[in-house]
């Protein structure tokens, strides 16, 4: 078949597939759907690029590999999953200043809090999965915070310092990586050796993102690499932000005390990083240390300013590993790491009126978590067969201390908690095997066909053994690959959900040791195409079901009718397995070098979901048969129920252009489209104590500009302008976002 016909076929099919999808508005120029915008982009690129692309030999491409998809080195095009590799050069040219900004540009990923004041929590969602269903790793070691309620982490903690490349693998990967990899995996790979000798990179940034705001960062990286294979590097990253009020001010009376005394929130962050290693053709040994220390001013929830609330965070991370390549057929590797986190929250009394009166309350809490990981694997390569097998240990610990004081007309109230005596410590032991079978194992005529098979057994201290598996056939079609994957996954309950000892007079503990792990099954169908160096295209459909979904719930007196419940009927709160979450969607991406000077790239992600609740799923032995009300939406689970839509997980579109008129100058522009979505807010009308209600937030479109100039070798000057047109959008209800921003940076390398 003529390749021009293939181009026409795929562009037409692309348009037909995505045309019915979610509508959006893009200012004065209308794109009726994300899909039609993407189809227009693809068809334009294909028609402009077809002749040039067909002249390229696909075998003459720069070497690009992905490790995270199969835990072995592979060309991304030969992997039957949706993967993205972001190189060091792409990170620099993206214009992104933080990891969340960079990830939010990729298909299938939403990072809430990206547009907020630095220091506010930034949560990653992949393919609509919950924030704690994404495995974030550094050099293959999972990074989490065991002291949080759901073991999720604040993505804003991780800077772009010392990052060599980032690998993203979408979809369930519990077989390869264990707990939490239901939505996908983000593996951040740090720098190792460089060109021989001593080298240094210095980067200075400054800018603002609204009236009265400012931000500045300094980053210095040092590396020495010896011809023997020995290398050492170190990096210091410092960031300071001032000026933005984290929450929205809705007071209309400008003389109101609260309006006149709102606090401008700030953020300070410092990363210290060091790495020592040795690498040659057979041996790869390294050890690294990272210290993250940051302090953020925060507010007391949506719309509620607080002038004396701060959170300090510290993480110490040590990673180490060793790999030995015996020959081309056999390699053995060990990876390990340990991390300690500490969050210290302090909320002192605040002035509440013009007479200088205080609210006479005080809170402080210290939350500590630690984890240790050991992982051993062997890789066997034979003709038509690759096997990766291994096992590991994941050990988590947490503790917390809190103190609350208040004084009012009803007297003094004090409350203390201390989890030190509980010795909360959970170990998970696992074994896994993953095999890639190529058709050439049978006959070279079938080499285009590949089959991936995987199995993992997990033994958890509390819920025992659990099996996950995956089946992943794919077929090479020319320079493209058609693939399908069926995978199962799981997510272990967090230490807090299992062990937190708070209880009401009913005696029911908030922590629930009888929680079952969340388990998932996922389907994915996709196609990806790469033509020469100039064009790549990807399309993926997915559906994921998560059973035993864990949620926080109120309990109410079973002897009272729900419609007549009062405050006195409250029987405590707890964590429960409550139902099933289903996510589905489509992802489309295209990247094209239209000419030697002009590149266009974009993606569209459409996601939808629902929650289904069944009273039979409730553990009545733990609830003592009391009424169950979910805090997340106020629903009483008294009969089968369903909640449509995903909170804070919108459909998105990204479109970017880069133009290089001369060798020393690069220009870029980015367009980000975020669809309408549901958000949550506290609604006092949902039951006697209130719960979270849902409200729709409008779609928005952001436009950024980027310029990079290299006046001479080693020196780079960058300018970036953000949110050129829309300065009033809301990402999360009740919280303010960065306004129009301008940033300047200068970097020097030698």
CA 200 to chain CA centroid, Å, is: 30
Q: What is the pLDDT of residues 178-208, one digit of tens each?
A: 988 999 999 999 998 888 999 999 999 999 9
Q: Which residue has the higher pLDDT, 484 or 463?
A: 484
Nearest Cα neighbor of 434 from 455, 459, 457, 458 is 455
Answer whether residue 11 shows pLDDT above 60.
Answer: no
Task: Report the b/e string of 65-93 with b at 16+ CB within 10 A.
Answer: ebbbbbbbebebbbbbbbbbbbeeeebbb
Answer whether 289's CB lies under 8 Å from 318's CB. Answer: yes
Topology given in CATH for the domain delimited by 3-749: Maltoporin; Chain A (2.40.170)
Nearest Cα neighbor of 510 from 551, 476, 478, 539 is 551
Backbone angles phi, psi at 90, to 5 degrees: -70, -35
CA distances from 671 to 351, 353, 604, 722, 743 (A): 42, 44, 12, 10, 17
Q: What is the DSSP letter of 70?
A: T
Q: How confident is the model at residue 259 (pLDDT cuts 50, 70, 90)?
A: low
Answer whether residue 24 shows pLDDT above 70.
Answer: no
Q: What is the pLDDT of residues 277-287, one digit of tens each?
A: 999 999 999 99
Task: Report the b/e string of 358-368 with b at 16+ CB within 10 A.
Answer: ebeebbebbbb
Strands 134-138, 184-190: pairing kind: parallel
What is the reported pLDDT for 247? 86
Nearest Cα neighbor of 635 from 518, 545, 515, 554 is 554
Answer whether residue 581 shows pLDDT above 80.
Answer: yes
Distance CA 374, CA 680 (A): 39
Query: For the residues 619-635, what does the mean pLDDT come to?
Result: 93
Q: How confident is the model at residue 107 (pLDDT cuts 50, 70, 90)?
A: very high
Answer whether 311's CB lies under 8 Å from 343's CB. Answer: yes
What is the reported pLDDT for 628? 95
Answer whether 692's CB lies under 8 Å from 685's CB. Answer: no
Backbone angles phi, psi at 730, to 5 degrees: -115, 130
Q: What is the pLDDT of residues 26-68, one digit of tens each?
A: 333 334 444 444 444 444 443 334 334 333 333 333 457 888 8
Distance CA 559, CA 73 (A): 61
Q: What is the pLDDT of residues 329-344, one digit of tens each?
A: 999 999 999 999 999 9
Strands 741-749, 715-722: pairing kind: antiparallel
- 309 DSSP β-pair partners: 347
Answer whether 650's CB lies under 8 Å from 659's CB. Answer: no
Distance CA 105, CA 717 (A): 23
Distance CA 603, CA 514 (A): 42
- Name which of 7-16, 84-93, 411-420 the model is least confident about: 7-16
CA angle 738, 692, 552 (to 5 degrees): 110
3-state secondary structure 478-515: CCEEEEEEEEEEEECCCHHHHHCCCECCCCCECCCCCC
What is the reported pLDDT for 231? 97
**Residue whose structure tokens are 């062997």:** 378
Answer whether residue 622 shows pLDDT above 70.
Answer: yes
H or E element in which residue 575 lies:
strand 570-593
Distance CA 723, CA 718 (A): 17
Domain boundaries, the chain: 3-749
Nearest Cα neighbor of 10 from 523, 527, 479 is 527
What is the reported pLDDT for 117? 79
Answer whether residue 452 shows pLDDT above 90.
Answer: yes
Can you give the pTM of this predicted structure?
0.88
Answer whether residue 250 shows pLDDT above 90.
Answer: no
- 567 DSSP β-pair partners: none
Residues whose CB falls within 8 Å of the CB of residue 9, separated by 6 or more in sequence, listed in order: none
């Amino acid at each position: 078949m003529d390749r021009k016909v293939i181009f026409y076929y795929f562009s037409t099919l692309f348009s037909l597939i995505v045309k019915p999808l979610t509508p959006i508005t893009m200012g004065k120029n209308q794109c009726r759907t994300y899909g039609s915008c993407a189809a227009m982009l693809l068809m334009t690129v294909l028609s402009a690029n077809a002749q040039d692309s067909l002249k390229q030999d696909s075998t003459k491409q720069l070497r690009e590999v992905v490790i995270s998809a199969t835990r072995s080195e592979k060309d991304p095009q030969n992997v039957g999953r949706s993967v993205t590799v972001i190189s060091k050069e792409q990170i620099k040219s993206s214009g992104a200043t933080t990891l969340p900004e960079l990830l939010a540009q990729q298909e299938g990923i939403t990072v809430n809090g990206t547009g907020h004041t630095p220091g506010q929590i930034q949560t990653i969602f992949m393919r609509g999965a919950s924030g704690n269903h994404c495995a974030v790793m550094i050099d293959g070691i999972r990074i989490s915070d065991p002291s949080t309620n759901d073991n999720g982490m604040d993505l804003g903690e991780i800077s772009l310092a010392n990052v060599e490349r980032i690998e993203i693998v979408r979809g369930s990967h519990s077989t390869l990586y264990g707990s939490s990899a239901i939505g996908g995996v983000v593996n951040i790979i740090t720098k190792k050796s460089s060109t021989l000798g001593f080298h240094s990179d210095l980067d200075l940034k400054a800018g603002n993102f609204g009236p009265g705001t400012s931000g500045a960062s300094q980053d210095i990286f040092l590396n020495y690499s010896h011809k023997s294979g020995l290398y050492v590097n170190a990096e210091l990253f410092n960031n300071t932000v001032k000026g933005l009020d984290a929450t929205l001010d809705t007071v209309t009376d400008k003389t109101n005390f609260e309006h006149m005394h709102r606090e401008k929130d700030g953020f300070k962050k410092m990363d210290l990083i060091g790495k020592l290693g040795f690498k040659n053709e057979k041996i790869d040994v390294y050890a690294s240390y990272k210290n993250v220390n940051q302090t953020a001013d925060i507010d007391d929830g949506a719309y509620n300013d607080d002038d004396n609330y701060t959170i300090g965070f510290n993480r110490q991370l040590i990673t180490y590993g060793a790999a030995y390549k015996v020959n081309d057929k056999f390699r053995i590797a060990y990876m390990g790491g340990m991390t300690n986190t500490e969050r210290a929250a302090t909320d002192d009394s605040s002035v509440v009126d013009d007479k200088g009166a205080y609210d006479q309350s005080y809170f402080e809490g210290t939350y500590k978590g630690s984890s240790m990981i050991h992982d051993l694997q062997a890789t066997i390569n034979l003709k038509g067969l690759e096997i990766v097998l291994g096992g590991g240990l994941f050990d988590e610990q947490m503790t917390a201390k809190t103190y609350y004081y208040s004084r009012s007309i009803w007297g003094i109230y004090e409350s203390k908690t201390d989890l030190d005596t509980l010795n909360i410590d959970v170990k998970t032991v696992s074994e896994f095997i993953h095999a890639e079978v190529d058709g050439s194992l049978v006959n070279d005529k079938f080499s285009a066909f590949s089959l991936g098979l995987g199995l993992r057994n997990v033994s958890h201290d509390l819920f025992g053994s659990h099996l996950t598996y995956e089946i992943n056939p794919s077929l090479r079609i020319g320079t493209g690959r058609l693939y399908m994957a069926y995978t199962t996954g799981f997510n272990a309950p967090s230490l807090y959900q299992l062990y937190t000892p708070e209880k009401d007079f009913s005696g029911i503990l908030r922590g629930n040791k009888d929680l079952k792990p969340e388990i998932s099954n996922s389907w994915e169908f996709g196609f990806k195409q790469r033509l020469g160096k100039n064009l790549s295209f990807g399309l993926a459909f997915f559906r994921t079901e998560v059973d035993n979904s864990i949620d926080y719930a109120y309990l109410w007196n079973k002897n009272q009718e729900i419609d007549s419940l009062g405050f006195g009927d409250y029987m405590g709160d707890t964590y429960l397995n409550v139902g099933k979450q289903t996510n589905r969607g489509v992802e489309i991406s295209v990247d094209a070098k239209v000419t030697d000077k002009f590149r266009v790239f974009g993606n569209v992600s459409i996601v939808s979901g629902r929650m289904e609740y069944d009273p039979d799923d409730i553990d009545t032995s733990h609830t003592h048969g009391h009424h169950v009300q979910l805090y997340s939406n106020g629903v009483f689970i008294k009969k089968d129920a369903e909640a449509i839509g995903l909170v804070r997980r919108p459909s998105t579109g990204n479109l970017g252009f880069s133009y290089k008129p001369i060798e020393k100058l690069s220009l870029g522009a980015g367009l980000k489209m975020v669809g309408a979505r549901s958000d949550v807010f506290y609604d006092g009308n949902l039951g006697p104590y209130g719960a979270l209600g849902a409200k729709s937030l409008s779609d928005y479109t952001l436009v950024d500009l980027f310029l990079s100039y290299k006046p001479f070798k080693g020196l780079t000057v960058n300018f970036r302008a953000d949110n050129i047109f829309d300065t009033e959008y809301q990402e999360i209800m009740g919280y303010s976002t960065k306004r129009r921003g301008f940033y300047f940076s200068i970097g020097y390398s030698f």
